[in-house]
Chains A and B, each alone.
Chain A
Amino acid sequence: MALRDRHWRDRRLADVLRSGIVKPLLPAAACLALLAAAPTPSQAATLTVGTSAEPSALDPHYHNLGPNTRARKHVFESLVSMDAKMRLQPELAESWRAVDETTWEFKLRKGVKFHDGTEFTAQDFIYSVCRIPNVANSPSSFTVYTKGIAGIEAPDPHTLIIKTGKPYPLLPVELSTFGIISAKAAGGEAVTFDKAGCKADSWPTTQAFNDGSLMIGTGPFKHKSYTKGDRQVLERNPDYWGPQAAWDTVVFRPITSDGPRVAALLAGDVDIIESPPVQDIERLKSAPNASLAQAQSNRVIYLALGVQDTPPTITGTDGKNPLKDPKVRKALSLAVDRDAIVKRIMMGVAEPANQYLPAGFYGNNPEVTVATDANKAKQLLAEAGYPKGFQLTLGTPNDRYINDDKVAQAVAQMFTRIGVQTQVDATTANVFFSKRNKQEYSVFLAGWGADSGEMSSPLKALIATPIKEKGYGTTNYTSYSDPELDGMLDTALATVDDAKREKLLQAAVKRAVDADIIIPLHYEVTVWAMKKGLSYEPRADQYTLAQKVTPAK
Chain B
Amino acid sequence: MSTVMAKAPAVETPFLRLARDFARSRTALAGLAVLVLIVLAALLARWVVPQDPYDLAQLDILDSMLAPGSLGGGGWTYWLGTDDQGRDMLSAIVFGLRTSLLVGVVATLIALAVGVAVGLLAAYAGDRVDGLVMRLVDIQLSFPAILIALILLALLGKGVDKVIVALAAVQWAYYARTIRGSALVERRKEYIEAAQCLALPHGRIMMRHLLPNCLPPLIVVATVQVAHAIALEATLSFLGVGVPVTQPSLGMLIASGYQYMLSGDYWVSLFPGLALLVTIVAINLVGDRLRDVLNPRLNH
Q: A406-B85, A409-B85, A426-B245 are in contact. Are A279 and B62 (CB under 8 A)?
A: no
CA distance A309 to B92 in the complex (A): 38
B92 CB to nearest chain A CB (Å)? 13
User: Is B77 interfacial (CB 8 A cutoff)?
Assistant: no
CA distance A268 to B240 in the complex (A): 29
User: Is B27 interfacial (CB 8 A cutoff)?
Assistant: no
| CB–CB B264/A32 < 8 A | yes
Annotate B121-159 by CB proximity to A: 1 below 8 A, 0 otherwise: 000000000000000000000000000001001100110
User: Is B260 interfacial (CB 8 A cutoff)?
Assistant: yes
| CB–CB B264/A427 < 8 A | no
| CB–CB B84/A406 < 8 A | yes
| CB–CB A413/B240 < 8 A | no
A372 CB to nearest chain B CB (Å)? 13
CA distance A20 to B62 in the complex (A): 51
| CB-defined contacts of B86 to chain A, threshold 8 Å | 344, 413
User: Is A280 interfacial (CB 8 A cutoff)?
Assistant: yes
Annotate A379-413 by CB proximity to B: 1 below 8 A, 0 otherwise: 00000000000000000001100010110111011
Stretch at the interface among A324-332, A417-425, A457-465: A417-425
User: Is B259 interfacial (CB 8 A cutoff)?
Assistant: yes
| CB-defined contacts of B241 to chain A, threshold 8 Å | 427-428
| CB-defined contacts of A422 to chain B, threshold 8 Å | 56
Q: Which of B254-287 contact A (CB under 8 A)?
A: 258-266, 270
| CB–CB B258/A259 < 8 A | yes
User: Is B65 interfacial (CB 8 A cutoff)?
Assistant: yes
| CB–CB B246/A423 < 8 A | yes
| CB–CB B61/A405 < 8 A | no
| CB–CB A344/B266 < 8 A | no
| CB-defined contacts of A406 to chain B, threshold 8 Å | 84-85
Q: Which of A30, A32, A413, A426 interacts with B61 by CB under 8 Å?
A: A413
B58 CB to nearest chain A CB (Å)? 9
CA distance A427 to B150 in the complex (A): 10
Q: A32-B262, A32-B264, A412-B56 are in contact. Are A428 and B246 (CB under 8 A)?
A: no
CA distance A426 to B255 in the complex (A): 15
Chain B at the A interface: mostly helix, strand, loop or mixed?
loop
| CB-defined contacts of B153 to chain A, threshold 8 Å | 427, 431
User: Is A1 interfacial (CB 8 A cutoff)?
Assistant: yes
User: Is B67 interfacial (CB 8 A cutoff)?
Assistant: no
User: Is A340 interfacial (CB 8 A cutoff)?
Assistant: yes
CA distance A345 to B60 in the complex (A): 12
Residue in chain B with minimal CB distance to A281: B263
| CB-defined contacts of A344 to chain B, threshold 8 Å | 61-62, 64-65, 84, 86
| CB–CB B65/A283 < 8 A | no
CA distance A421 to B58 in the complex (A): 12
| CB–CB B264/A405 < 8 A | no
User: Is A341 interfacial (CB 8 A cutoff)?
Assistant: yes
| CB-defined contacts of B265 to chain A, threshold 8 Å | 279
| CB–CB A416/B56 < 8 A | yes
Q: Which of B60, B244, B258, B270 interacts with A425 by CB under 8 Å?
A: B244
B70 CB to nearest chain A CB (Å)? 14
Q: Which of B157, B259, B266 interacts with A258 by CB under 8 Å?
A: B259
| CB–CB B266/A1 < 8 A | yes
Residue in chain A with minimal CB distance to B83: A406
User: Is B59 interfacial (CB 8 A cutoff)?
Assistant: yes
| CB-defined contacts of B240 to chain A, threshold 8 Å | 398-399, 427-428
Q: A340-B62, A428-B240, A428-B241 are in contact. Are A2 and B266 (CB under 8 A)?
A: yes
B269 CB to nearest chain A CB (Å)? 9
Q: Which of A341-398 contact B (CB under 8 A)?
A: 341, 344-345, 398
Residue in chain B with minimal CB distance to A415: B56
User: Is B57 interfacial (CB 8 A cutoff)?
Assistant: yes
User: Is A204 interfacial (CB 8 A cutoff)?
Assistant: no
| CB-defined contacts of B65 to chain A, threshold 8 Å | 344
| CB-defined contacts of B258 to chain A, threshold 8 Å | 259
| CB–CB B244/A424 < 8 A | yes
User: Is A3 interfacial (CB 8 A cutoff)?
Assistant: yes
| CB-defined contacts of A423 to chain B, threshold 8 Å | 244, 246
B142 CB to nearest chain A CB (Å)? 22
Q: Which of B60, B61, B244, B262 interacts with A262 by CB under 8 Å?
A: B262
User: Is A288 interfacial (CB 8 A cutoff)?
Assistant: no
Q: Which of A2, A282, A431 interacts with B263 by CB under 8 Å?
A: A282
User: Is A26 interfacial (CB 8 A cutoff)?
Assistant: no
User: Is A277 interfacial (CB 8 A cutoff)?
Assistant: yes
CA distance A67 to B263 in the complex (A): 27
Given contacts A403-B84, A431-B154, 13 further A-B contacts (CB under 8 A): A1-B261, A2-B266, A259-B258, A259-B262, A277-B259, A280-B263, A344-B64, A406-B85, A410-B85, A413-B86, A426-B158, A427-B153, A431-B153
Q: Would you give 26 A-B contacts (Cβ < 8 Å), ordered by A?
A: A1-B264, A1-B266, A1-B270, A30-B264, A32-B263, A280-B263, A283-B262, A340-B62, A341-B61, A344-B61, A344-B65, A345-B84, A398-B240, A399-B240, A405-B245, A413-B59, A413-B61, A416-B56, A422-B56, A424-B244, A425-B158, A426-B158, A427-B153, A428-B240, A431-B150, A431-B154
Enumerate chain B interface residues (CB-CB to A < 8 A).
56-57, 59-62, 64-65, 84-86, 150, 153-154, 157-158, 240-241, 244-246, 258-266, 270
The 3 A-B pairs with the shortest beta carbon distances in the complex, nearest first, are A1-B266, A416-B56, A344-B61
